[in-house]
């Protein structure tokens, strides 16, 4: 057996170039296999967070109604402080402060939910990475991802958006089948504007989306209902899946004739009078 003697020298054999390349190739293969798994796990985590957010919003909606003799929280469009305080403050695309300032979520002067919720993260889907381009081209993250069914607690600001053929609900006791009426949805981020999720109902000749539901959960979105349950829903019509460049907004009135997705939402928006 060879022995080491003081003063002698020996060399440690290092990796050859080919061996290093083989190791790097193996690492690359493992990474390519793991990345889709990690991406899928991240998407699943985002969807679970979004489900929990909407459960919290649905609970807040119920608590408000209970505190105000079954009256539903006002829902619509409003810039600043008005006669009624909406569930959160906000208006159409041209009213930018409500997209970027959490004051419209957490200040009781602007948001009726502010007395119940003081966590801005509840209003934001983690998959929503949208920014609003402000002064000097500075991008600011959008602070809200969700909107409420416009037929629940609509204010006069929604009068021209409501179909007279369908029931508008102003008290919880008016909702005959709460498990079948949607309460909140997350939106395609660039489509979000008013706190109310505006749905063009049948009979007005408008076979189109005004607001587009979210599709960033594996081509689906999260929907909560008036009975408090929440579910993920996958959309089927490719026309529902839309996006635009960062900092831009999507135009409303997106054509959707014969869309199964629009029909699904309409069936859960209201009932005929």
Query: What is the rounded CA–CA span in Å between residue 4 and residue 239?
Result: 76
Check whether 209 has a pLDDT greater than 60. yes
pLDDT tens digits for range 137-161? 778 899 999 999 999 999 999 999 9
Q: If phi over 0 gives left and psi between -120 and 50 gives alpha, with beta otherwise, what is residue 70?
A: left
Q: For residue 94, with 0-12 CB atoms within 10 Å meaning exposed, 13-18 middle and 19 or more buried, which class applies?
A: exposed
Query: What is the rounded CA–CA span in Å between residue 222 and residue 51?
Result: 6
| Of 69, 253, 225, 228, the residue nearest 148 (C-alpha) | 225
Q: Within the chain, where are the H helices?
A: 17-67, 97-100, 103-106, 260-267
Check whether 212 has a pLDDT greater than 60. yes
Our CA angle for 7, 13, 18, nearest 5°, is 160
Check whether 38 has a pLDDT greater than 90. no
pLDDT of amino acid 11: 55
Q: If phi over 0 gives left and psi between -120 and 50 gives alpha, with beta otherwise, what is residue 122?
A: alpha
For residue 87, give every residue at least 6 positions away whose Cβ sits within 8 Å of its Cβ, in sequence order, or none. Answer: 61, 64, 73, 74, 75, 111, 112, 113, 148, 153, 195
Residue keyed to tokens 């859960």: 268
pLDDT of amino acid 35: 62
pLDDT tens digits for range 240-254? 998 777 667 898 999
pLDDT tens digits for range 224-236? 999 999 999 999 9
């Amino acid at each position: 057996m060879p022995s080491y003697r003081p003063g002698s020298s020996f060399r440690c054999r290092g990796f050859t170039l080919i061996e290093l390349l083989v190791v790097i190739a193996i690492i690359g293969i493992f990474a390519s296999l793991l990345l889709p798994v990690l991406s899928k796990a991240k998407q699943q985590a985002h969807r679970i967070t979004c489900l929990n957010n909407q459960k919290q919003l649905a609970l807040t909606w119920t608590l408000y109604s209970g505190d105000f003799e079954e009256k539903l929280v006002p829902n619509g469009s409003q810039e600043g402080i008005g006669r009624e305080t909406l569930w959160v403050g906000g208006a159409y695309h041209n009213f930018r402060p409500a997209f970027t300032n959490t004051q419209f979520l957490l200040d009781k002067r602007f948001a009726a939910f502010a007395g119940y919720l003081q966590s801005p993260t509840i209003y934001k889907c983690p998959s929503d990475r949208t920014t609003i381009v402000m002064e000097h081209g500075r991008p600011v993250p959008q602070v809200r991802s969700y909107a409420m069914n416009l037929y629940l607690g609509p204010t006069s600001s929604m009068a021209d958006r409501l179909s007279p053929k369908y029931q508008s609900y102003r008290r919880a006791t008016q909702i005959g089948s709460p498990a079948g009426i949607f309460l909140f949805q997350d939106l395609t981020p660039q489509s979000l504007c008013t706190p109310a999720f505006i749905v063009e109902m049948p009979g007005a000749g408008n076979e189109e989306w005004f607001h587009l539901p979210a599709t960033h959960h594996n081509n689906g979105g999260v929907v909560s209902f008036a009975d408090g349950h929440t579910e993920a829903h996958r959309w089927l019509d490719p026309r529902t899946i839309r996006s635009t460049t960062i900092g831009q907004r999507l135009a409303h009135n997106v054509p959707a004739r014969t869309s199964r997705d629009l029909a699904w939402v309409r069936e859960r928006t209201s009932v005929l009078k």
